[in-house]
Amino acid sequence: MSKVEPREITTVLFDDFELLDVCGPLEMFGAAGQRFSIRLAGPEPGPVRSAQGPAVVADVAYRDAPPPDIVLVPGGIGTHRLVDDVGFKGWLAEWAADAQIVTSVCTGSGVLAAAGLLDGYRATSNKRAFAWARGQGPRVEWVPQARWVEDRKRWTSSGVAAGIDMALALIAHLHGEQLASTVADRVEHEWHRDPTWDPFAAKNGLAPTQE
């Protein structure tokens, strides 16, 4: 059998991104063997500060990022600045337009929406910031109760830790559920396989409270 080239996942870093939004999914993809390669893009090559303080090192500047196979846009308080950055949104819209899959974690979906990349798609976001995310994309069909939402080439997850479950679901989608289960076991994560499992929607007033 011929060797399958790994799909390259490019994560978009920016100041005040949410640390687990990046590190959680990338841990899953990295644990899937040689099926994925990981690239980190930032405003410039070098350290990019997370909302929690520690920096993550970008491999390449936005302007030099090669065309991606899979895009990952995290959330974090820095997304509130990005949605007003016309230059950034223009770059993201053009660069990610032809990607095989575009994904987001948490309020990263608000950034995708602001760039027009979710127009005509179903999507979700962090439940505590759901109203803000929804305000970035009036042409998006926002799903208030979902752990993650898959709609064709767009995968969006709820808040922070939900990105891990979405990443495992994407691994299952591309390479089979057995591999995703193996990865979850390897990292000792209890994988929520049901994308509609979302107790946090009710906790934040976005769904009826179950008796």
Q: Which residues are catalytic?
A: 106
Spatial strand order in the sheet of 36-42: 60-61, 36-42, 7-12, 70-73, 101-104, 154-157, 148-151
Distance CA 175, CA 6 (A): 11
The pair phi, psi for residue 157, each rounded to 5°, is -120, 165
Which region, left, alpha or beta, applies to residue 145 given φ > 0 means left and ψ of -120 to 50 means alpha? beta
Query: In angstroms, how far is the first alpha carbon of the chain from the final one?
Result: 53
**Is 59 exposed, middle or buried, given 0-12, 13-18 or 19+ CB atoms closer than 10 A?**
middle
